[in-house]
Amino acid sequence: MKGYGRALAVIVLASALLPSASAAQDLPEIYLYANDFVGVLTYDEISTLDEICYQLDQVTSDEVAIVIVNTTLPMGIDTFAVELFRESGIGKEDLDNGVLLLVSTEEEMWRIEVGYGLEGILNDAKVGTIGRENLEPYLAVQDYYPGIFYTVAALVEELTADPDRINEDGYDIEFLRIDYWQLALAVAVFLVVGVATKGRAFFWLGGILTRGRFGGGRSGGGGAKGRF
Amino acid sequence: MKLSKPLLALIIAIVAVVIVLALIIVTYNGLVDAEQQVESQWAQVENEYQRKIDLIPNLVNITSEYTQFEASTLANITALRMEWLNALTSEERLNTSIALDGEINTIVLAYYSAENYPILSSIPLVADLMDEVAGTENRIAVERMYYNEYVRDYNSKIKRVPGVLFAGMFGFEEKRYYDPIPGEA
């Protein structure tokens, strides 16, 4: 009976941990608009980009995510972008109005993935031109911030060009969407795992607390890519 | 009140029949939904193909003007486009589309190769068109991935209990994955 209980405990623990393990399959977990996993942007630069995307979200409900990674291999930038888009759910559900700006520093490639709902405004050729004109000249000389800043600015310009898309009153943005039962379970599991891993697991906690930031939008592979 | 034995047996029999019927209905509806998803996703894949077929004349014109691709690649693409347009069954379209993928991919890859990219991407006409072609190519890959996921869901539904019990009875057959590798399709 004792062995039985222990086996049960292991199963419960394993099943509680499984979702985060499968989600982490080579894909970074993103919860802010601007995410730099390489360290080429300063804290202030990330905050500025985050603020711009936040404002855009407020007036048009479009969600722009910026992600900088070392590499997208073995998936390759196209698959990586689609999977990350889906995993993170960039854009509002049903509207699919998300945009992912992905920069891979080691491969020297960029991709702008456009959600289904924005394909009409941001067609492939337009997005490609935005990337080539704003990103490539700066990224080619490792000047990441201006490249990304001007690209985001160009995207925002396109997305706000039509006055009908702008909500004067502003959309409500949920900062944290917490399911308290999940939170309680997560805390319990993390305490156990945290002790077992001598504290390393506590670093993951941030990701769980802020999950649910993006709205659940999808993309169908539209957008453009390039080299720098 | 005490029920007589035959009455009790009758009630149990009726309840059992109702449960079985309910199970059949729920399973059947589940299979229909899964099949519908597979079919509508296939339509989505064909949409993206149509988009690509429409781009081909442009692609052939511009690539032959600005770049030195093998003439045979472009001739093949034109021929395959005709084949696609004349294809009657989705089986034929599938085979043509797989061959077409290979040919167009050669051009897309050549465009994005490091030595060509800076030169070709500086010509706006070429760059825009390649964005469209690469975007279409990528959309097809994505919709195909979604399609295969729906097929996987559907196939596992008809192979697992309770689906497996009724799938044959209602004529639900296993669906084929869309495999982009020629020869394995």
CATH code of the domain containing A125: 3.10.310.50
Strand partners, A34: A66
Task: Report the pLDDT value the prediction gives residue B70, as an integer from 0 to 100.
Answer: 65
Q: What is the value of ipTM here, to two decimals? A: 0.75
B178 within some domain? no
How many Cβ atoms are within 10 Å of B34's Cβ, its own excluded?
Answer: 21
CB contacts of B138 in chain A (<8 Å) are 78, 82, 221-223
Nearest to B127 among A79, A132, A220 (CB): A132
Least confident of A11-15, A88-92, B131-135: A11-15
A113 within some domain? yes
Interface test with A, best of B126, B142, B148 (most A CBs within 10 A): B142
Radius of gyration of chain A (CA): 19
Cα dist from B167 to A17, A201, B31, B79, whole Å: 35, 46, 8, 41
Q: Would you call A194 an interface residue with chain B, using a CB distance cutoff of 8 Å? A: no
B183 within some domain? no
Cα dist from B27 to B147, B156, B169, whole Å: 21, 13, 12
B61-67 mean pLDDT: 74
Q: Check whether A154 has a pLDDT greater than 90.
A: yes
Task: Report the pLDDT value the prediction gives residue A10, as an integer from 0 to 100.
Answer: 55
Strand partners, A44: none
Supply the range of the domain harboring residue B139.
Answer: 11-167
A178 within some domain? no
Domain count, chain A: 1
Q: Check whether B127 has a pLDDT greater than 90.
A: no
B65 within some domain? yes
Sheet of strand A109-115, all strands in order from the earlier edge strand to the far edge: A34-36, A63-69, A98-104, A109-115, A219-227
pTM here? 0.75
Token code pair at residue A28: 């970074």
Residue A101's nearest CA partner among A76, A84, A117, A120 is: A84
Token code pair at residue A65: 């995510």
Token code pair at residue B12: 């149990």
CB–CB of B175/B155 below 8 Å?
yes
B174: left (phi over 0), alpha (psi -120 to 50) or beta: beta
B5 within some domain? no
The span from the CA of A90 to the CA of A73, in Å, is: 21
Please indicate whether residue A73 or residue A105 has the higher confidence score (pLDDT).
A105
Count CA atoms closer than 13 A to B102's CA, side-chain side: 13
A172 contact partners, CB below 8 Å, separation of at least 6: none
B26 within some domain? yes
Strand partners, A113: A100, A223
At residue A176, φ and ψ (nearest 5 deg) are -130, 130
Supply the range of the domain harboring residue A67.
Answer: 34-173+213-227
Task: Report the pLDDT value the prediction gives residue A17, as an integer from 0 to 100.
Answer: 46
Q: Would you call A128 an interface residue with chain B, using a CB distance cutoff of 8 Å? A: yes
Task: Report the pLDDT value the prediction gives residue A64, as an integer from 0 to 100.
Answer: 94
Please indicate whether residue B76 or residue B36 has the higher confidence score (pLDDT).
B36
Domain count, chain B: 1
Query: If pLDDT is split at 50, 70 and 90, which confidence band does A197 have?
Result: low
Interchain pair A124, B121: CB under 8 A: no
CB–CB of B57/B26 below 8 Å?
no
Q: Which amino acid is at A93?
A: E
CATH code (residue B135): 1.20.1440.20
A57 within some domain? yes
B172 within some domain? no
Looking at CA atoms only, how far is residue B22 from chain A in angstroms? 31
Looking at CA atoms only, how far is residue A148 from chain B in angstroms? 19
Q: Check whether A153 has a pLDDT greater than 50.
A: yes
